């Protein structure tokens, strides 16, 4: 399955690293980022996503990071490893564990990072990469920010879809 | 100049192979080995990864030596994380690191290369 631009994104309920459950409802806009602990692309973009989460928090935007990788084959993506990382790095967004991989499948997530911007009605308004260059921090998650600015202004993003670049999600065999 | 054996191990789940190969070609050019053969070896599954001690894609071996010796990385199918000198995280080792590895292999130690 995958979600198309303009469609309602699937509902989900996933636990964060403290055991609290989160869903993609109730905010003016929600950013769902499929990510993980060891992918160089996810890590290279991480700080930019974190900065965007901080910058947009006051504007009613909620960020939800989701790790869907198979932790059995990739222990660095275990729930415990997620907990350690969040404790060390002071994340401004919850880091959710998709142990069944059902949410990644429902969204059609392919790689880490894979960014989905939902409006207040949970309709998908942007899907793709945070910006055009993982190796250029000055890009500052520009595509993600553009999409959020549009959604918050009640407009369609000019660039609703880009190609997500990153490590393939590690599906269970 | 002796031409070292150069092998690039890659896995299809990672988008960095092309870039790594381009960096490697540029580094070979830097050290005067523009025509050197690069053996491309695809790692297809967990078994292949274990067999080669593959800690992620891309992995580049010069005379069998990893250009960025693995630390505590797990053997398996994943994208490899490199840390550049400036601290930046990268999915490829970078032209500079590759150039130094090639120089070590061909001349027995790092030397200054004029741009």
pLDDT by residue (tens digit) across B12-69? 999 999 999 999 999 999 999 998 999 999 999 999 999 999 999 999 999 999 998 8
Query: Cα distance from A41 to chain B (closest Cα, Å)?
Result: 7
Whether pLDDT at B115 is above 50? no
Mean pLDDT of A61-73: 96
Mean pLDDT of A42-71: 97
Residues whose CB is less than 8 angstroms from the CB of residue B4 and which lie 6 or more positions away in sequence, other chains included: B36, B62, B63, B102, B105, B106
Mean pLDDT of A102-122: 97
Which conformational region is residue B108 in: left (phi greater than 0), alpha (psi within -120 to 50 degrees), or beta?
left
Distance CA B66, CA B101 (A): 9
Query: Cα distance from A140 to chain B (closest Cα, Å)?
Result: 15
Between A112-116, B9-13, B86-90, B96-100, the lowest mean confidence (pLDDT) is in B86-90
Name every chain B residue with its beta carbon within 8 A of the beta carbon of A76: 74
Predicted TM-score (pTM) of this structure? 0.92
> Are the beta carbons of A168 and B14 separated by less than 8 Å?
yes
Whether pLDDT at B110 is above 70? no
- Least CA distance to B93: which residue of chain A? A40
- Least CA distance to A44: which residue of chain B? B89
The secondary structure element, H or E, covering residue A149 is: helix A142-152
> Are the beta carbons of B82 and A40 separated by less than 8 Å?
yes
Q: pLDDT band at residue B113, thresholds of 50, 70 and 90?
A: very low
ipTM: 0.84
Distance CA B83, CA B93 (A): 8
Query: Cα distance from B15 to chain A (closest Cα, Å)?
Result: 7
- When scoring B13, B73, B81 by the number of chain A Cβ atoms within 10 A, the one with the most, hence best to mutate, is B81
Distance CA A48, CA A140 (A): 5
Residue B108's pLDDT is what? Answer: 62
> Are the beta carbons of B89 and A40 separated by less than 8 Å?
yes
Q: pLDDT band at residue A7, thresholds of 50, 70 and 90?
A: very high
Residue B112's pLDDT is what? Answer: 45
Mean pLDDT of chain A: 96
Q: How many CB pairs below 8 Å do chains A and B form together?
A: 43
Name every chain B residue with its beta carbon within 8 A of the beta carbon of A43: 81, 89
Between A39-53, A64-78, A115-129, B84-98, the lowest mean confidence (pLDDT) is in B84-98
Which residues 62-121 in chain A show a CB within 8 A of chain B? 73-76
């Amino acid at each position: 399955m995958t979600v198309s631009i303009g469609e309602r994104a699937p509902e989900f309920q996933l636990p964060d690293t403290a055991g609290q459950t989160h869903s993609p409802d109730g905010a003016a806009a929600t950013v769902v980022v499929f990510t993980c602990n060891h992918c160089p692309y996810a890590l290279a973009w991480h700080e930019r996503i974190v900065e965007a989460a901080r910058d947009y928090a006051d504007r009613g935007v909620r960020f939800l990071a989701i790790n869907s990788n198979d932790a059995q084959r990739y222990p660095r993506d275990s729930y415990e490893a997620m907990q350690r990382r969040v404790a060390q790095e002071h994340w401004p967004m919850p880091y959710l564990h998709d142990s069944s991989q059902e949410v990644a499948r429902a969204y059609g997530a392919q790689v880490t990072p894979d960014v989905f911007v939902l409006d207040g009605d949970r309709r998908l308004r942007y899907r793709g990469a945070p910006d055009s260059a993982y190796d250029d921090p000055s890009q500052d998650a520009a595509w993600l920010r553009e999409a959020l600015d549009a959604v918050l202004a009640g407009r369609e993003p000019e660039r609703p879809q880009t190609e997500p670049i990153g490590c393939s999600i590690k599906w269970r065999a | 100049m002796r031409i070292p054996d150069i092998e690039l191990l890659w896995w299809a789940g990672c988008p960095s192979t092309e870039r790594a190969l381009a960096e490697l070609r540029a580094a070979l050019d830097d050290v005067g080995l523009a025509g050197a053969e690069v053996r491309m070896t695809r790692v297809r599954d967990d078994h292949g990864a274990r067999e080669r001690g593959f800690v992620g894609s891309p992995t580049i071996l010069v005379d069998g030596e990893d250009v960025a010796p693995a630390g505590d990385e797990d053997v398996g199918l994943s994208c490899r994380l490199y840390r550049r000198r400036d601290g930046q995280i990268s999915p490829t080792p970078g032209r500079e690191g590759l150039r130094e590895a090639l120089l070590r292999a061909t001349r027995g130690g790092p030397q200054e290369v004029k741009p």
